Amino acid sequence: MKYHIGFSQSDLGADAPQSVILSGEPERSHYIAQTYLENAKLLSQYRGLHSYLGKLPNGKPILVATSGMGASSLSIVVNELVQVGIKQFIRVGTCGSIQPFISIGDLVISQASLCRQGAALDIAPPEYPAVADLFLTFALVETARKLNIPYHLGITASVDSFYEGQERVESSANPHLQSWLRGITAQYRQLNILNYEMEVGTLFKMAGVYGFRAACVCAVVAQRTADESIVIDDKDAAVKRAIEVAIQSIAQA
């Protein structure tokens, strides 16, 4: 049994899945398993890292796993999932748009990441590219198009902290940013970066080093050109759209 995820390769059975949908929230993992998986089985909920085994309606086996918040937690979960045989990862998350043309409720599909994360430095040097799998990313794009869901394909800024690292001052307990963080969002906007989130840069670097396929689709729940706050009222509907895109893409992969 792997220490953090709480299950072993043998727990996955003879028809073991090679694909996982990865979510930061245990509640989201539970929702995906109960809504989309047939014969969903809870493998573990150790440390709040809920993992479920089941099958899609087309009979394809799949794992739904919780990564926790941030790259450090994700790096542990992903390492152990690779050890039990997972070869394809789709992260389904939430994010904040930093471009005025990306609206609350839209999806961002990450083709690459600006990776400003400490966990990734233990895996590869800073200049090592954090890039998504081309074919898995294209599958997400095609599914979003087919479902007529508004999406944006581009570069994500993946950072370690929710407040200081994403230049939040009005909603933070600490309004005194380090000088190098002041204006960072505008700088990223000028670099055509689409959004902030907290995990995918490390996931993409791990994919390159470990040799698995990875992609990411995030629901936009904050519009950072207008406000720092998350729009809770629109979150559930946006996340459900991201989940639908991920599920259908894995079913066809």
Catalytic residues: 4, 80, 168, 224
- Residue pair 105/234 in contact (Cβ under 8 Å)? The answer is yes
Distance of CA 36 to the CA centre of its chain: 18
Residue 238 CB: number of other CB atoms within 10 A? 22
Specify the amino acid at residue 236: D
- Give yes or no for a contact between 64 and 21, defined as CB atoms under 8 angstroms apart: yes
Q: CA–CA separation, 198 vs 95, rounded Å? A: 8
Query: How many Cβ atoms from other residues are within 10 Å of residue 56's Cβ?
Result: 17
